[in-house]
Amino acid sequence: MIKLFKNFNKKEGLLFVLCILLVSFGVWLDLKMPDYMSEVTVLVQTSGSKMSDILEQGFYMMLCAFGSLISAIIVGYLASYLSAVFSRNVRYKIFKKVEDMGVADIKQFSIRSLITRTTNDVTQIEMLIAMGLQMMVRAPIMVVWAIIKIINKNIEWTLLTGAGVILLLATVITLLLIVFPRFAKVQKLFDKINGVARENLTGIRVIRAFNAEEFQKNRFEEVNSDLTSMQMFNQRCFAILNPVINFVMHFLTLGIYFIGAYLIMDAYFISDKIELFSNMVVFTSYGMQVIMSFLMLAMIFMMWPRAQVSARRINEVLDSDILIHDGDFDGDTEVSGEVEFKNVSFKYPDADEYLLKNISFKAKKGETIAFIGSTGSGKSTLINLVPRFYDATEGEVIVDGVNVKEYKQSALRNKIGYVSQKAIMFTGSVKDNVAYGDNGKEHPSDEKVKEAIKVAQGEDFVLKMNKKYDSHIARGGTNVSGGQKQRLSIARAIARDPEIYIFDDSFSALDYKTDSILRRELKNYTKDATSMIVAQRIGTIMNADKIIVLDKGECVGVGTHKQLLKNCDVYKEIALSQLSKEELDNA
């Protein structure tokens, strides 16, 4: 936490100190008020006091209240400023860090977790600063100061206040000990009930088809009961808190007065009695302040651990090492469209097993090179080495005659048009999505965008959308189908005019017909570009110039469709599973 606060600069540090001073001032004023009240009490109790004296004390009290308000408003302003600055800066830092991360770095955290770290965790600490700063500073000062004020007045009253504080704290702590672990369980049960309900919704056809409504209902009810009883227990426990707080406050006042009565009775001199009386009235105010401050402290202790966890999670991101570093080659090569793998092996930094073993091949300008193999054979990993999402553990990946590690990342990626496995859409228009990014050249023109969409077989559906190329794509692309998304993301690569296309299983959501037309059009449109295609379907790749068959990270066959059918068993197996023998022969 402290480490995160170092994100504040000098000016903000000074403001923080100012906050502390102002809060102290406010506390001083708040505690001064009962003193004036005590004066008033004495004045009232002794006959013959002047009205103007009382009004004077009242004026001072008002001044205190007002001063305290002003200081609180200033502190409130400073706290909101500090918290907003903090969250803005930290959020920016995290976002930048994540943008700089490589794919492997992100895998370490998982995307979900990075999102919560950038959003919720930052908000959590922001809240602590905004709400807590005042409390955190105020409560300890108030506690100490108020205790000093009362401790000299009377031992019995002080003891009574102490007992009240202890009772309160004991209640709060016991509650936390009992209930806190259960909060985590409630959260889990919430996830579980969400899970079962989601199951019911996603599997609604299956459930009905199996007449399993009753079965699912029982499953739901089980979690529902667990959740209800757990939550009920927690809330019943918490039900005690308010009554106890009120009980302590009321009995403190009553107790002070009751003890006061005895003290006054026992005091010998009348002047002593009057002093005791005025002290008694004032003491109730101080006692209340002490108890309130302890409550505030307890609240901070409740907030602190959560914020602490968030702080740790944020620091983990900010402190993580980035695996991939920029080279300094600006990408100006003589040859273009060449990709070469030289004895490339790859494993994740912490893993024992290699995902790719000793892969070598070369793709020349204008060639189409395809990769096929079962899940986990390493084909996606392989082509992800080209745009340097990962670095090869051993061997060299060479683009246009230069090792990818020597390129500036942006220069390398300017050569590449990458289409990911899962089509990714950004909020914005169709045009924005296709013209996305920066390729070191001019931004794609409208014509270029239209052309790219046409080649990617997206013209039909884009023209059917209400605003055509300016139609809005919703967050996550929820308003277009999977196949449409895939076509748009292919168009995005085309609009980039790259030397090298990388298709990471990018045709899977297309039906055979669209798939084949798209590839034919693409081939015509990008004669000079090199294509690297990962696919599941034989039909997608069987006309590639070179097919590389992968199995468990090793290259088990290289050649054309026809060659491989003859000499590669793995390939033959894959082909046979998809097309009948006669079809393959006919083809």
| By CB under 8 A, residue 197 contacts another protein | yes
CB distance 557 to 568 below 8 Å: yes
Cα 136 from Cα 20, distance rounded (Å): 10
Q: How far is the CB of 331 from another protein (least distance, A)?
A: 11
Cα separations in angstroms, 42 against 61, 264, 267, 269, 275: 15, 14, 16, 15, 7
Among 206, 322, 335, 463, binds another protein (CB under 8 A): 206
Site for another protein in 493-522 (CB under 8 A): 496, 508-514, 516-517, 519-520
DSSP per residue, 246-265: HHHHHHHHHHHHHHHHHHHH
What part of residues 111-170 is at the interface with another protein (CB under 8 A)? 111, 114-115, 118-119, 123, 126, 130-131, 134
Residues 371/556, Cβ–Cβ less than 8 Å: no
Least Å distance, CB 342 to another protein, is 23
Q: Does residue 9 interact with another protein by CB under 8 A?
A: no
Q: Does 21 bind another protein (CB under 8 A)?
A: no
Determine the Cα–Cα distance for residues 546 and 554; give it in Å rounded to an integer: 16
Report the nearest approach of another protein to the CB of residue 153 (Å).
17
Amino acid at 108: Q
Q: Would you count residue 525 as binding another protein (CB under 8 A)?
A: no
Shortest Å, Cβ 158 to another protein: 20
Give the position of tokens 């002593």.
Answer: 272
Exactly one of 287, 337, 378, 387 binds another protein (CB under 8 A); that residue is 387
Q: Taking the complex as a whole, how short is the minimal distance between the CB of residue 270 and another protein, in angstroms? A: 6
Contacts of 405 (CB under 8 A, 6+ apart): 327, 388, 391
Going edge to edge, which strands form the sheet with 530-534? 416-419, 500-504, 530-534, 368-372, 546-551, 554-559
CA distance 142 to 152: 16
Binding mask 165-194 for another protein (x = CB under 8 A): -------------------------x-xxx
* Residue 445 near another protein by CB under 8 A: no
d(CA 497, CA 506): 18
Provide the minimum distance between the beta carbon of 387 and another protein in the complex, in angstroms, as a whole number. 5
Q: What one-letter code names the amino acid at 541?
A: I
CB of 583 to another protein, least distance (A): 6
Among 92, 180, 183, 301, binds another protein (CB under 8 A): 92
Looking at 153-161, 200-208, 344-352, 445-453, which segment touches another protein (CB under 8 A)?
200-208
E-assigned strands of 364-439? 368-372, 394-399, 402-403, 416-419, 428-429
Q: Which residues within the stretch 97-116 sit at the binding site for another protein (CB under 8 A)? A: 98-103, 106, 111, 114-115
Structure tokens, 327 = 């080279």
| Number of residues located near another protein, criterion CB under 8 A | 177
> Among 251, 348, 354, 361, which residue sits at the site for another protein (rule: CB under 8 A)?
251
Q: Which helix (H) or strand (E) holds 517?
A: helix 512-525
Q: In the window 263-322, what residues touch another protein (CB under 8 A)?
A: 264-265, 269-271, 273-274, 277, 280-281, 299
User: Site residues for another protein, window 207-236 (CB under 8 A)?
Assistant: 207-217, 219-221, 224-225, 227-228, 231-232, 235-236
Q: Considering beta carbons, is residue 147 or 193 the nearer one to another protein?
A: 193
Q: Is 467 in the site for another protein (CB under 8 A)?
A: no
Per rule CB under 8 A, is residue 5 in the interface with another protein?
no
User: Can you tell me which of 35, 156, 199, 326 binds another protein, judged by CB under 8 A?
Assistant: 199
Reading the block at residue 177, the tokens are: 């000990």
When asked if residue 547 is in the footprint of another protein (CB under 8 A), the reply is no
SS3 per-residue string spanning 19-31: HHHHHHHHHHHHH
447-452 long-range contacts (CB < 8 A, ≥24 apart) are: 448/495, 448/497, 449/491, 449/495, 451/494, 451/495, 452/491, 452/492, 452/494, 452/495
Applying CB under 8 A, does 329 fall inside the site for another protein?
A: no
407 binds another protein (CB under 8 A): no
